[in-house]
Chain A
Amino acid sequence: MADKLRAQQQLEALQARYIGIGSADTSKHEWTSNMARDSLASYIGHPPLLQYMSIGLGQSREKTRVQLLERMIQPVGPPPKQDD
């Protein structure tokens, strides 16, 4: 029992430290948001990718960067209603 508790605590510590570590209760929304945010952060972070997208959109890199950051706020829409 103590082992189980410790494992639980360790998992929680990891979850606090690294975003995106799932658990049995991770919902589809959480998971997809997480994926989308990871992708968006990668588009912003890799300079050639950001440039590629900016050229496609015909705008400056800074503008594309801000647009992608804004999309990170809620990438897959609002969370589903909780049934209580």
Chain B
Amino acid sequence: MTSFSTMSLYALTVKHPSATQDAITGDFMGNQRQQILTANGSRLSIFEVSRRQKGFQEIYSQDVFGIVRRIGKFRLAGGNKDLIVITTDSGRLVTYEYEHEPLQQFKTVHYETFGKSGIRRVVPGEYLAVDPKGRAIMIASAEKNKLVYILTRSGQTDIAISSPLEAHKPQTLVYCLIGLDVGYDNPMFAALELDFSSAETDPTGEAVQELQKELVYYELDLGLNHIVRKWSEPVDRTAHTLFRVPGGQSAPSGVLCCGEDNITYHRIFNNKTQMHRLAIPRREGATEDPNRKRVIVTGTLYMLKGGDFFYLLQTDDGDVFKLNITHDNGTVEKIKIKYFDTLPIATSICILRAGFVYLACESGDRTVYELESLGDDTEDPVFESTQFPVDPTASYAPPFFKPRGLTNLTPVEALPSLNPIMDMEVANLALEDAPQIYTIHGTGGRGTFGTTRNALEVLDLIESPLPANAIGVWTTKMNVEDTEDQIIVLSMASSTLILKIGEDVEQAQHHGFFEESSTLGVQQFGEDCIIQIHPRGIRHIRNLQFEQGDAQGNDPKITNWDSPPHRTIVACAANNRQVAIALSSGQILYFECDSDGSLAMAEDDDITLDSTINCIAIPEVSEGSVRANFMAVGCSDQTVRIYNLHPDVEGNILRSISVQGLSSPPSDLTINYMRDKSPRGYSQFLHIGLRSGVYIRSVLDEMTGEIGDTRRRFLGPEAITFARVTAAGEPAVVAMTSRPWLAYTHPRTSVLQLTPLNYIPFKSAWNFDGSAFKGIICVNANELRIFTFNDLLDNTTYEPIQLRYSPRKFVSYPDQGVFYVIESEHNTIGADIRQMLIDQAHSNGPAKMGTDGEEALTNGHTFGDELDPTKFGYPKAQGQWASCIQIVDPITEKKVVQSLELKDNKSAVSVALAYFESRGENDMYLCVGTVKDLRFTPYQYTSASIQIYKVSPDGRQLEFVHETEVTQPPLALLPFKGKLIAGIGTDLALFDCGMRSLLRKAMQPNAVSTRITGLKTQGSRIVVSDQSQSITYVVHKDQVHPNRLIPFADDTVARHTTCTEMLDYETTVGGDKFGNIWIVRCPAKVSEAADESPDGLNLTQDKAYLAGAPNRLDLVAHYFSNDIPTSIQRTNLISGGERVIFWSGLQGTLGALIPFSSRRQQKMFQQLELQLRGDDKPLSGRDHLAYRSYFTPVKSMIDGDLVERFLVLSRDKRESIVGQLQGNWTSEMVDEAIWNMRGLYAF
């Protein structure tokens, strides 16, 4: 007998993480151009920046299902492309080759197991260094272990890898590891090491002060095939990073060693050059502490043509310096440093030969800059190593510079990144079809409030008013050979307007069109004719021409076909050779193009239906044929019928081939060819739009006319109409309902994608092929618009609002459409002190003028101004806090409407919007928990309090009411039964609002063991999350006095909870700091017993079990996501969709957990996941099951990201996997099931 869990979820990533772990440049495609390889979360992506497109383009991206730690590239002599090497948590060294053709993929080259999986202290992978000539790879762990692999070329194409050589040194920490440039001498590696063995045995604690950091050179002797610790020398104790100095002929070789306020050039061991040292220039300014030392956080070496080189080094303030080494034929004379520009703090800086700089920022958007100059011409001071002593402990005059705006770089493009997401809420405040995702993300001055929607970004090209309201729009060519559209036909309610496209768009004259009626369809017909279908007939216009640059037509020859008396045309469909019209009587008449281009009605054959006809569709004539084979007819009896237009074996046409029943009458039909996964690469699709707003897409077989492989989805509450268009070069369909949607093929997975447009609703659209641009033309009432698409890869749009500090938490006020955001910035000077310092500098200004004369005059005003924090960050000071509360209106004003600065070194730690029963139901109060002088490790503070603000009726003003001091920091607040419940340290307390302070109504001391960080409630139950001890269920008993708060159930595993959400009364989903998502459930009996008695006496009598609550929670599901969940919510994501669990991760991930509704589906997905684990092994070399079970075994979750790999596998592989599934599944059915999981729940 099989037993299975009652819950099963499908874990899907909606938006991949955007936090960059590492980024490098290289020629991975082998096309002599440079690409950027980035590692984000567990994904590897290749980007290209091209000047031609002025932009940034993702070429390929793949999930490796492992925690990527470092990436590197290497190229052996004679190779034509860079290969990729990555270290992950797999305990394996894996190298890849990127193959662009015929199939985009990372092809594994080497796969070397060296240690245990997981990220451990002594398993190498923390550091990765590659010999610049690609002959060896060194990997190291944080402590002790180092391994070297030798790469050699064997044969023409193969690269052989040796077994690893060990260079371990116990009790030694490694701070940095690089490969040295030594030309073609034996490969050398340099490491910054610290041997702490002497401190291990010294009880006095003195030895630890005397430990020395060493710069160690390792030489790999290729002849003897072993590695030797060649040389070591002590360096500055604070040193933490190294940069390689180019070597070889007439270049100095060696390293730059960076530490606190220190950049030192170290020669290679056998070279005679002396050491040279520079101090890192500090910022000048009123708010800057002149004694604060900077460190280098990242940097890059750039080699110019001709052997020159320079470095761009970034400090922890974000200032980028250019460092030059002056050398004479390999002997370094001095090193020079000069301020370059200030950029956001980055993890990697990549300089491209094309003159671009790619910055992978630690927080916020990844940005591409264009190099305007190399910084030689600016007037910033240059500091030379001759100014500074070599010994960093000797005294010297610190160098200063003035930060300024960007001069050497100009931002070109930003890649929107949500990283790091601090909090998220899905809500429909804007009252749209689908809810919006509101996030607060970013740190420092780059804090942002973002609104993310599932929509395609469109580029608005033209917007022009019309004389009257239009109901339909068409564009048409004049001639079959034309490549561009010449005229626009606009249908009004009872007239038609013809516009000629030229230099300008103007009204055409003498064009032959019938203007006194509305129009149903326009089609370029035959060789040089145009037909116009209007309710009373068809007008056939032959050889219409316009004078060059003129809107005067040539009064072309027209032929009219009038509809039979008492009947009008209700629907029509046409292509270049065929026309079909439906009359109000239910009759369909069919015409073909004669040899001279005139209309020839099929006399004998017509169709008469009992029900009214709503719509007809005929596909375009495919190349090489004279007619399209099928016609689709949508009738009001809720059917779509397919008729043949190509004579069958008996020579008959218009025979019914198939009938498709629908759930509602169809409102529009269209047939087109779209790219898909069939062997031919494209198929014919029938798109059906229903009155009920459901969209159906099916494959319409070209030979038989059979309908199959159907996808359906609800798009909006109005009847759907279609327009066939070209979007980003691919055929697509615009579906118009309450808002416009685009049905297109996903560029990477080749499956159907349905995404709403980020655009106004419109009722009619048509494809537009102009000489200047290609796009889509649409009409909305009396406006004509043309727009186009840039890119179909990203199906979300994003609107940012700048915040002041790092946002921490927020709470929404849905009635008024505003959010209250609490923001705080650690180790930053508060606004009050900042202002004081600036004022002081101002008042000192005149005094200074007396002594310094002119200089102070010119500098006076810059001294007083604060640097723009979004670009320069905030002035730092240890232990200080800057914090504020901001009210953000993302709906109407789209900006911050009020900011309240917290003074006195207080920082806001929690926020809740509550109403108090005792103060009337109409008044809302914002409760903010604050802490004064907060410090971590060890956790310290001087005081803590809860501030109460009264919210104005429109929600846009806060008025301070009172502040109540509490014993410990209130890290969690929650409105509860008309009162406020707060987690005060380990205590849980219930407060009511009094006149002067909060009044405590109930209290449970030591409700949890570490610190309460979150609260959620349903009814009388409160779920309390602890910083490190998972969650505790607490019940509130209000029938006794004083009220009781009784913890009755807690968890068995110590989860460092970050966020929780109650799924139902018993079940809670949550995330922890190690990247797990879990669901726990209270046993039914315990849950019932908790609510039984009104006073909770039975609960207080229960004995504590193992020093915890009396009962334990059961684990229902568990999943490792490799990103720290910061917020989790049960919500629906799309209009008409079921509810899913939606979560946001710190690194910018947005994910969904979708419950399976059928056992059969769940079983199929489970088998599919199992098959894929074996047949499509993760690239990282990690076992997929082990990866998703990183800390705790995965339970009741199916990895949708792995399952979706099925969509991109080759046909053979797919078939072989499907063949092994039980339950008669075909490849198409699996495709549909995968599509439904994403399409019907998320996006």
The residues of A with any CB-CB pair to B shorter than 8 Å are: 16, 18-20, 37-38, 41-42, 44-49, 51-52, 54-63, 65-66, 69, 72-74, 77-82
Contacts and interface: CB of A to CB of B under 8 A. Distances in A.
Contact of B201 (A20, A56, A62, A79): A79
A74 B203 contact: no
A72 B1073 contact: no
A72 B173 CA distance: 8
Given A46-B1074, A48-B1122, A58-B806, A72 B143 contact: yes
A65 B173 CA distance: 12
Given A47-B69, A58-B828, A79-B200, A52 B1073 contact: yes
The secondary-structure label for the interface of chain B is: loop
Interface in B769-826: 806, 825-826
B420 A51 contact: yes
B175 A51 contact: no
B564 interface: no
A60 B199 contact: no
Contact of B119 (A42, A63, A65): A42
B201 A37 contact: no
B69 A37 contact: no
A58 B827 CA distance: 6
A66 B173 CA distance: 11
Contact of A45 (B142, B205, B208): B142
Given A45-B69, A47-B21, A49-B1073, A57 B826 contact: yes
Contact of A46 (B119, B201, B241, B422): B119
B19 A60 contact: no
B815 to A, nearest CB: 32
Contacts of B144: 19
B969 interface: no
Contacts of B241: 62
Contacts, number: 136
Nearest to A38: B121
A61 B142 CA distance: 16
Nearest to A82: B203
Contact of A77 (B170, B205, B1146): B205
Interface in B291-327: 295-298, 316
A19 B200 contact: no
B759 interface: no
Contacts of A56: 826, 936
Nearest to B115: A18
A22 to B, nearest CB: 15
Nearest to A73: B196
Given A19-B143, A63-B295, A38 B1124 contact: no
Given A51-B19, A69-B175, A78-B202, A59 B1147 contact: no
A47 B19 contact: yes
Contacts of A46: 67, 119, 1074-1075
A73 B1074 contact: no
Nearest to B1122: A48
Given A56-B936, A60-B345, A61-B362, A73 B240 contact: no
B143 A37 contact: yes
Among A18, A59, A62, A81, find the residue whose CB has the most chain B CB atoms closer than 10 A.
Answer: A62
A42 to B, nearest CB: 6
B1222 to A, nearest CB: 38
Contact of B122 (A19, A58, A77, A79): A19
Given A46-B67, A51-B19, A80 B203 contact: yes
A54 B144 CA distance: 25
Contacts of B296: 62
Interface string B418-448: 0010100000000000000000000110000
B1146 A52 contact: yes
Interface string B205-220: 1001001000000000
B848 interface: no
B126 interface: yes
Interface string B1063-1097: 00000000001110000000000000000000000
26 contacts: A19-B121, A19-B143, A19-B170, A37-B121, A44-B142, A45-B142, A46-B119, A46-B1074, A46-B1075, A48-B1124, A55-B420, A55-B422, A55-B443, A58-B444, A58-B806, A59-B827, A62-B240, A63-B295, A69-B175, A72-B173, A73-B173, A74-B199, A74-B208, A77-B205, A78-B202, A78-B205
